[in-house]
Chains A and B, each alone.
Chain A
Amino acid sequence: MPELAHAADRRDAAWWVDRAVRILVLAGGLSAIVFIAGIFVFITREGAGFVFDRFDFREFFGSPRWTPTSSHNPTYGALALIAGTASVTGLAMVVSVPFSLGAAIYIGEFATGRVRETLKVLVELLAAIPSVVWGFIGLSIMNPLIIQTFDVPVGLNVLNAGVILGLMAAPIMTTIAEDALKAVPDTYREAAEAMGATRWQVTFKVVLPAARNGLVAATLLGVGRGFGETMAVLMASGHSINLPTSPFDSVRALTATIAAELGETAAGSDHYGALFTLGIFLFLVTFAINFAADVFVRGGQRKHRRRGRRPAASANP
């Protein structure tokens, strides 16, 4: 039967569109990987010269002396910068974890209808505030406030940058944590509530344990955000090299160092290479954090695999 053979082999418009879309999305997906790999290759290549010729592991991770512009004895100790970034990020998490968890639990489990929708939009708006604006708040509001309240000479310090960074990271962490709560099927809530559990008991005994992995992922992504944030930290931390011993010490962050110094170095110099080495270090740390977050999210998905709503696609913003 010739007609039947024709129908079996004829490639119609839908077939061609499908083929074209396949190629387009493949190209889009590959380009993301290519760009990331390209960035990694670039910073590695720029930093490679320094890493192989000048890099001293003990100096880099063990010395707080970062004096790359010294004419007779430049030193490249990144310990103070790492400590600066770590202390600011640590304090930021102390601020943002309770805020974002509380907000996510309220929005996801307690608020209903209009209140819930309004809050979600507001939180997303907060997440869109540019970091330079946060830095501005750190400089012009937090700075005098800290000087007055704690009677210290300088208000640009770990406390200032940590609070600013915490407030900055909280909205995105709230959004991701709320996604994790939303991925818990409603049937769980209904079953627990039908047993006579109060809303808080349902949240605490059933929803939070079920969403635990997603909540950990939200926190980790907040940590990654803190590590990578530049402008707000540059403006609020005081930008002076210090191993902090109290929240009122000024510090300098890894990212802020790169941003502030790269423009003034000669391409190819030791200083230039050292800044790219900081970049490689940052890249590896944030990569590890994001990877860990991803592992946690997948762990969470497995738990609900058998039934219920599909979990949120990915925690990567």
Chain B
Amino acid sequence: MSVPVRVSEAAGFAIEVEDLAIGYHGKPALSGVTLQVPTQEIFGIIGPANSGKTSFLRAINRMDLMTAGMEVSGSVRVEGRDVRSWRNPYALRQRIGVVFPLPVGLPLTIYDNVALSSRLRGTRKKADLDVIVERCLRRAALWDEVKDRLDSLGSLLSGGQQQRLTIARALSQDPSILLLDEFSIAVDPVTTMRIEEVLAELKSEMTIVLVTNLVQQARRLASRTAFFLTGELVEVTETETMFEGGAQDPRTTAYVEGKFG
């Protein structure tokens, strides 16, 4: 893959969001968000339900195009370029891996699940695909469990395995940005910890935006954390500071201390 000129990488930001507002059928879901996500770190987003976290992710890879009634204003820049100026939104989405809250094993074999992205981009050679599939499954800590049954249906794996399959599939896109939306909601604690280890390793290679409903997960992984509340960005702070009582806003402190939410 050719490496496009990354204007803002010099500045160190993978994603720059300015005055972002999102609504559904005219009803606002998120407004006035301005923040920057530095490259190659894990950026946490916490907040109670309906605070606009998922909508925020959907605006980054232009999922608004396939969501009826979703309106986006303001600007989202990925690699220095406004996402709405990409004439080929499919190319944008290929550069951004997404992991959804509930694991989605496509009804294909395990092998085909991980090979799908490469095939969509024209890789046909079995040998090349074999390498990609094994590498991605290994990085997602799933290889040892499925290497003997790559031909069985991905949708028949257990929830935790399917979520790692989803991560392997996202990695097969060779993304520069990985968006995770509450990935541990349907995953047991042991698998959650394994995936967290995987993410900690991956951050040296890609920018990770981690939306989580577990504040302690953000504390464990994220360098910086944003707190969203009822469609508003309350603050972005160094994670350590936020959890050591140094939050700028008392609502943030109350939330991370478990007083509401």
Contacts and interface: CB of A to CB of B under 8 A. Distances in A.
A197 B63 CA distance: 12
Contact of A306 (B97, B108, B155): B155
B120 A201 contact: yes
Contact of B100 (A190, A201, A210): A190
A188 interface: yes
Interface string B50-94: 000000000001010010100000000000000000000011111
Contact of B120 (A195, A303, A307): A195
Interface residues of B, number: 30
A134 B237 CA distance: 71
A124 interface: no
Given A187-B102, A190-B100, A303 B107 contact: yes
A307 B102 CA distance: 10
A64 to B, nearest CB: 47
Interface in A268-304: 303-304
A187 B186 CA distance: 15
Q: Which of A112, A195, A206, A209 has the most CB of B within 10 A?
A: A195
Contacts of A205: 116, 119-120
B207 to A, nearest CB: 16
Interface in A70-119: 112-113
Contacts of A192: 106, 116
Contact of B90 (A112, A187, A196): A196
B224 interface: no
Nearest to B65: A193
Contacts of A196: 90-95, 117, 120, 173
A209 B109 CA distance: 11
A195 B66 CA distance: 13
Contact of A190 (B66, B91, B95, B155): B66
A307 B180 CA distance: 20
Contact of B93 (A193, A304, A307): A193
B156 A306 contact: yes
Interface string B147-182: 000000101100000000010011001000000000
Interface string A166-210: 000000000000000000100110111111111001000110011
Interface string A233-265: 000000000000000000000000000000000
B112 to A, nearest CB: 9
A192 to B, nearest CB: 7
Most buried by B among A193, A196, A198: A196
B98 interface: yes
B120 A206 contact: no
A206 B166 CA distance: 15
B173 A195 contact: yes
B202 interface: no
Contacts of B91: 196
B106 A188 contact: yes
B116 A188 contact: no
B75 to A, nearest CB: 21
A194 B102 contact: no
Contact of A194 (B68, B93, B153): B93
Interface hub of B61, B92, B106, B153 (most chain A Cβ within 10 A)? B106
Nearest to B155: A306
Given A190-B63, A190-B100, 17 more contacts: A112-B68, A187-B100, A187-B104, A190-B104, A191-B104, A193-B66, A194-B63, A194-B96, A195-B93, A195-B94, A195-B117, A195-B120, A196-B120, A205-B120, A206-B106, A206-B107, A209-B107
Interface of B: 61, 63, 66, 68, 90-98, 100, 102, 104, 106-108, 116-117, 119-120, 153, 155-156, 166, 169-170, 173
5 tightest CB-CB pairs across the interface, nearest first?
A196-B94, A196-B93, A191-B104, A194-B98, A210-B107
Interface of A: 112-113, 184, 187-188, 190-198, 201, 205-206, 209-210, 303-304, 306-307
